[in-house]
Structure 1
Amino acid sequence: MSYNSATLGSGSRTAGRTFEFGRTHVVRPKERHQATIVWLHGLGDKGSSWSQLLETLPLPNIKWICPTAPTRPVALFGGFPCTAWFDVGDISEDGPDDLEGLDASAAHVANLLSTEPADIKLGIGGFSMGAAIALYSATCRIIGQYGNGNLYPVNLSAVIGLSGWLPCSSTLRNRMERSHEAVRRAASIPILQCHGLADDVVAYKHGEKSAQALSSAGFRNLTFRTYDGLGHYTVPEETDEVCHWLTVNLGLERSQAY
């Protein structure tokens, strides 16, 4: 019941910058492998923090991959460097989107999933900024390409965003109009969003508006859960919801402990 760690990070090159990702931690399935989910940490955190929690969940058929974001200057902190999936200066619908950083992290996640066996269901989940990448990846999947136009290579069967928001929400509908397959794909991909009403880091309204943007763009299989009194952290009630939702939507064998 220990997690295995990859010893090397990997780089992702875009037109302007090269991003060096940190250490990746892997939680192996304890029973028959049915699904692989990349789980993304929040701003300033690392993959090992979440791998330890995910290992305790009663989901023995899931392999969890927990990468660590690159260390980069973050505008929100006045340019101070920390682990971040993309640069962010203002967490709001009106703030500028770091499309280059978003695409690099989404591509890194897709690359991690692309080597999984063909019969394994694939998913992406995350907390806070990690949730932002998970939701952004969902839009890339249904449109079929990243924001930079490169093809998105993997099929997603589940997307989870805890205490997060959707980057590029203002341009989502315009991007979808370029793809005939986007509406059909959007209707089929399951998404779970959870947000605390007392979140003082990523305000509840940003999570709610993100869910509304996804729904209006055609994401019909979206569940939005609200937690009264929950701040910017997770609680057992929320992780229980995640376990139940994944078990149902991925058709997982139920753990005897669940």
Structure 2
Amino acid sequence: MSYTNSSIGSGSRTGRRAFEFGRTYVVRPKGKHQATIVWLHGLGDNGSSWSQLLESLPLPNIKWICPTAPTRPVALLGGFPCTAWFDVGELSEDCPDDFEGLDSSAAHIANLLSTEPADIKLGIGGFSMGAATALYSATCFAQGKYGNGNPYTVCLRTIIGLSGWLPGARNMRNKIQGSHEAARRAASLPILLCHGLCDEVVPHTHGERSNHALSLAGFQNLAFKSYDGLGHYTVPKEMDEVCNWLNARLGL
């Protein structure tokens, strides 16, 4: 559930291409189905490894959907193809975001959630690039539309991002604060961010900056947790935080 590249970011654009998403793994609730969370893996991973971890969590009332990203050329890897929710280059404020790829993945995730029963609480979580995609989905929910202008119709109840960053952070504040309805939705969405202080792939400072950008844009129900000694992976203490967050925010 981790990878070893020395840098990761919100990379370069590629030509318009249709990428096929991989296999989706589903963990059925062991108790009463009260919530459904789509969980997104990191670069080069797949939905299977996270589904095994999530199945072991003491959250019997959650259904987990773990899709696999498309295999696509990745700028970070010199164009070598691997599973990625969008194209990535270096982790830099000046590096252009692949909004076409982000919109495609966010729409795929929303489609997975759109068939859930009306009384089920919906959320998105992820690790690293998956966390970035989850946070991008949060901004789409707040604005009520994707970056390409198409409507975003899923009602999200929570977002979780582990060891990630926020794509499109530079322009988000103006987009959300320019609309009363977008500001209202942003303020209502609980977001948990967790990041290791020793993360060598997505540095802790990027998590801090993402938290700051979300706060400035009007996301008021934010929690940012730092973990001393934690690199670019997850540990039981962090997953305990996720469990406590979901139980409290979703009333499980």
TM-score range, shorter chain: over 0.9
Match of 1:211 in 2: 211
How far apart are 1:178 and its partner, in Å? 4.1
Q: Say which structure, 1 or 2, has more relative contact order (CA 8 Å, 6+ apart).
A: 2
RMSD: 0.9
Unaligned runs of 5+ residues in structure 1 are: 1-14, 253-258
Match of 2:192, as an amino acid? L
Q: Structure 2-normalised TM-score?
A: 0.93
Match of 1:256 in 2: none
How far apart are 1:179 and its partner, in Å? 2.6
Q: Structure 1-normalised TM-score?
A: 0.91
In terms of mean alpha carbon deviation, does 172-181 or 124-133 score higher? Answer: 172-181
After the TM superposition, list the runs of 4 or more consecutive aligned residues in structure 1 that deviate by more than 6 angstroms: none
Deviations along 1:127-158, one digit per CA (max 9) or x if unpaired, are: 00000000000000011000000000100001
Match of 2:196 in 1: 196
For the residues of structure 2 that align with 1:48 and 1:85, how far apart are their CA atoms? 16
Task: Give secondary structure in 2 for the equivalent of 1:244.
Answer: helix
Task: Give secondary structure in 2 for the equivalent of 1:194.
Answer: strand
For the residues of structure 1 that align with 2:223 and 2:187, how far apart are their CA atoms? 13
Match of 2:10 in 1: none
Match of 1:126 in 2: 126
- Equivalent residues of 1:92, 1:206 under 8 A apart: no
For the residues of structure 1 that align with 2:92 and 2:162, how far apart are their CA atoms? 16
Matched, 1:22 2:22: yes
Calculate percent identity across the aligned residue pairs: 76
Match of 2:60, as an amino acid? P
For the residues of structure 1 that align with 2:26 and 2:92, how far apart are their CA atoms? 32
For the residues of structure 2 that align with 1:202 and 1:20, how far apart are their CA atoms? 26
- Equivalent residues of 1:93, 1:167 under 8 A apart: no
For the residues of structure 2 that align with 1:119 and 1:93, how far apart are their CA atoms? 39
Q: For this pair of structures, how many residues does the alignment match?
A: 238
Match of 1:144 in 2: 144
For the residues of structure 2 that align with 1:114 and 1:35, how far apart are their CA atoms? 13
Match of 2:153 in 1: 153
For the residues of structure 2 that align with 1:225 and 1:27, how far apart are their CA atoms? 26
Task: Give secondary structure in 2 for the equivalent of 1:247.
Answer: helix
For the residues of structure 1 that align with 2:91 and 2:49, how far apart are their CA atoms? 23
Deviations along 1:87-124, one digit per CA (max 9) or x if unpaired, are: 01012222110000000000000000000000000000
Match of 1:51 in 2: 51
Match of 1:61 in 2: 61
How far apart are 1:173 and its partner, in Å? 1.4
Match of 2:98 in 1: 98
For the residues of structure 1 that align with 2:94 and 2:164, how far apart are their CA atoms? 15
Match of 1:172, as an amino acid? M
For the residues of structure 2 that align with 1:207 and 1:102, how far apart are their CA atoms? 19
For the residues of structure 1 that align with 2:205 and 2:96, how far apart are their CA atoms? 18
